Each structure stands twice: as C-alpha cells, then as structure tokens.
C-alpha cells in the first residue's frame, strides 16, 4: 500500500512539470498581455514596456519559466496582475468556498445516486427505474448554469426557502478559522452560523451535483445489473444466504468498483466546473476569480490555478487507487 502511494506521488512530478511547460508556452503565444489589459487599448509603447519590465515579461521565455519553476518550489505562485496580491493568498481566500461547494455537491451525488442506481437496477423496468434513467438523462442534458438559474428563481426568489446569493447572510458574524463556513461554525460553537452556511450551500450544491448525480445513477445501475448476472451471485444464492448478505457482500461490493473510479474523475471536474454555479449564486469561490482573471489575462493566477487543479486531480486519483486496492485485492501490488 505504501509503495503504491509512493509510486503515485513520484508520478506526480513529471505530470506537473510537463503541464507547467505546456501552460507556459501556450500563455506566451496568446495575443495581448497583462500590460494592455491593465493600461487599456490606448496605452503608449513606452508604458507597455514599463509594465512588462516591472512584471519581468521582457525577459526570454525560458528565463521566465525558470523563475516560475523556482518560485513554485518555494510555494510562491507570483503576484496577481489584477489585485497586486500574492496568488497564493488570493487562492487561500477563495478556495475554501469552492472546495466546500464541490464536496457538498459530490456528497449529494453519492448519497442520492448510489442508492437510486442500485434500486433502479434491482427493480429494472419499474416506474422507479424509468424515472431514474430518464431523470439522469435530463440531468446530463440541462446546462448547469441554467439549472442554477431555475433553482434560484424557484426556491430562492419565488418561494424564499433558501437564500439566493453569498455564503453567509449579512448580520451573521462568524469567526473565521479554516475558511470553510460550515466547519468553522461547528468548531467555534456558532451553530446558527453553520446552519446559515448550510442553507446557502443547498441550491448551488444541488445545481452543481446534477451532472455527477446523473453519471453516478447510470453507472451504479449498469454496474449492479451486470453484477446481478454474475456467477458468484448465483453461488451466493445457492448457499441460501440471507438476501441482505448477498446484496451487501456479493452484489454491492463488486458493483461499486467502477463507481469509485467515476466519483474520482467527477470530483476533479467539479472543482473547475464550479465557475458558472458560483457566478449565479455570487458564491465568492475561486470560479468567479478565475473568470475575471481570464478577462484580465492574469497569467500568474491562471497558471497557478491550472497547476493546482492538476494537482487536485492527481491526488484524487491517488485516493481512488487506494480505495480501489482496499476493495479489490486483484489490483494490489505484491
């Protein structure tokens, strides 16, 4: 197990290095640049050159890249050209909101999706199955931002059950510990703040959960259907085991293997996919910041963000591999 983890961590280095090179070259080929974004279209050449010199953009590409790599190893992602603040600080300020949202979304997708897919398979052809299958198709088809707007219009604006924007209501004075609003409330004993944060999470999390939920339902259903036809399930039945034992030990355990892989991939994509949902609910996460950074051609922020997302992907995949090898002895390294 430790060897598996170590090997995966080593694999991380070439992946991230390769990605950083690609990113850097790609960004340097883009027309425009931070100078024109900061100064506007009517800037003089002298002003542009001054800004470029200040940001170190007049040096050769490989020098800039070398400096960039050196800084990464010092956990220094540079300074945002928009705000003038260190990228690292901008991230720590905003990432907790995005992580909180993504975790809530994937949790909803798993908790609802796995049982739904399981029972749809068990009662294949029933109204539950038909509803789950067609509902998940709808979930995949509806654009997330549109669903977010729908949910917001119905449950926040018209019915007023949930708040329509932000992470906390104005007037709630929460102490900040980790930056995760729900967790902070629990840690400091400010349970009303936690509750308020949960209420703010519901609509964006449900909107964001729609695609992973749909994928998990379909995946679980297909997987359970396949496993139900396996010989070893018949063997378990031939032993006269209780239905519960057959289902938990022999059906679910095998059926969840492909679902775990899917959950890993989905979680990674959620972090980058939260952008639109955050915008609709003014959630203040990393997504909105990245959007404005693209407009402003804020290279340090973009490069840092993409590297970070890649890192998260690789780490989640590592987790998936570990979980997989815990459940499936066949993939264990001997």
Partner 1 sequence: MSLLSVDALSVTFAGHGTGRGAGRAGRATKAVDGVSFDVAEGQVVGLVGESGCGKSVTALALMGLLPRKGVSVGGRAEFDGADLLSMGEKKIRDLRGSQLAMIFQDPLSSLNPVVPIGVQVTEILTRHRGLKGEAARKEAASLLDRVGIPDPDRRLKEYPHQLSGGMRQRALIAMAVACAPRLLIADEPTTALDVTIQAQILELLKELVDQEGTALLMITHDLGVVAGLCDQVNVLYAGRAVETAGRRELFAHPTHPYAHGLLGSIPRLDAPRGEPLRPIRGSINDKIAWADGCAFAPRCDFYTLQCLTGTPELTEPRAPGHQVRCVNPVLPADRSADAAEVSS
Tell whether residue 45 is a contact of partner 1 (CB under 8 A).
Answer: no
Cβ neighbors of 256 (< 8 A, separation 6 or more) are 114, 220, 223, 327
CB 168 within 8 A of CB 174: yes
Tell whether residue 79 is a contact of partner 1 (CB under 8 A).
Answer: no
Buried b (16+ CB within 10 A) or exposed e, 28-64: eeeeebbbbbbeeeebeeeebeebeeebebeeeeeeb
Shortest CB 236 distance to partner 1, Å: 7
Q: What is the DSSP letter of 329?
A: G
- Residue among 245, 292, 294, 322 that touches partner 1 (CB under 8 A): 245
Tell whether residue 250 is a contact of partner 1 (CB under 8 A).
Answer: yes
**What are the phi and psi torsion angles at 293 (to 5°)?**
-70, -35
- Residue among 66, 130, 249, 292 that touches partner 1 (CB under 8 A): 249
Binding string, residues 305-334; x marks residues near partner 1 by CB under 8 A: ----------------------xxxx----
Shortest CB 252 distance to partner 1, Å: 11
Shortest CB 220 distance to partner 1, Å: 16
Tell whether residue 296 is a contact of partner 1 (CB under 8 A).
Answer: no
Cβ neighbors of 264 (< 8 A, separation 6 or more) are 316, 317, 319, 320
Tell whether residue 244 is a contact of partner 1 (CB under 8 A).
Answer: no
Nearest-angstrom CA–CA distance, 106 and 133: 19
Q: With respect to partner 1, which residue has the nearer C-beta, 202 or 222? A: 222
Tell whether residue 232 is a contact of partner 1 (CB under 8 A).
Answer: yes
Which residues of this protein are in contact with partner 1, per CB under 8 A? 229-232, 234-242, 245, 249-250, 253-254, 257, 327-330
């Amino acid at each position: 197990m430790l060897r598996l983890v170590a090997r995966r961590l080593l694999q991380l280095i070439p992946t991230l290095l390769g990605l950083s090179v690609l990113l850097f070259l790609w960004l340097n080929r883009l027309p425009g640049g931070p100078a024109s974004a900061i100064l506007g279209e009517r800037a003089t050449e002298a002003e542009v050159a001054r800004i470029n010199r200040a940001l170190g953009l007049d040096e050769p590409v490989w020098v800039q890249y070398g400096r960039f790599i050196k800084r990464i190893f010092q956990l220094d992602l540079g300074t945002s050209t928009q705000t003038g603040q260190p990228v690292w600080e901008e991230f720590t300020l905003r990432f907790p909101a995005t992580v909180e949202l993504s975790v809530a979304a994937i949790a909803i997708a798993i908790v609802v999706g796995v049982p739904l897919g399981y029972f749809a398979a068990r009662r294949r052809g029933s109204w539950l199955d038909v509803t789950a299958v067609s509902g998940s198709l709808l979930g995949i088809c509806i654009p997330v931002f549109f669903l977010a707007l729908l949910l917001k219009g119905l449950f926040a604006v018209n019915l007023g059950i949930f708040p329509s924007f932000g992470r906390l209501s104005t007037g709630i004075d929460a102490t900040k510990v980790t930056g995760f609003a729900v967790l902070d409330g629990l840690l400091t004993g400010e349970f009303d703040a936690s509750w308020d944060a949960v209420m703010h999470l519901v609509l964006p999390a449900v909107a964001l959960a729609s695609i992973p939920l749909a994928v998990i339902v379909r995946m679980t259903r297909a997987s359970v259907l396949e496993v139900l036809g396996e010989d070893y399930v018949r063997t378990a039945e031939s032993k006269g085991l209780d239905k519960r034992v057959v289902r938990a030990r022999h059906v679910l355990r095998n059926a969840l293997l492909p679902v775990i892989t899917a959950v890993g991939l989905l979680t990674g994509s959620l972090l980058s996919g939260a952008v639109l949902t955050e915008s609709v609910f003014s959630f203040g996460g990393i997504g909105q910041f990245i959007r404005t950074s693209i407009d402003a051609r804020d290279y340090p922020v973009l490069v840092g963000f993409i590297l970070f997302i890649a890192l998260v992907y690789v780490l989640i995949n590592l987790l998936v591999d570990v979980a997989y090898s815990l459940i499936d002895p066949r993939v264990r390294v001997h």
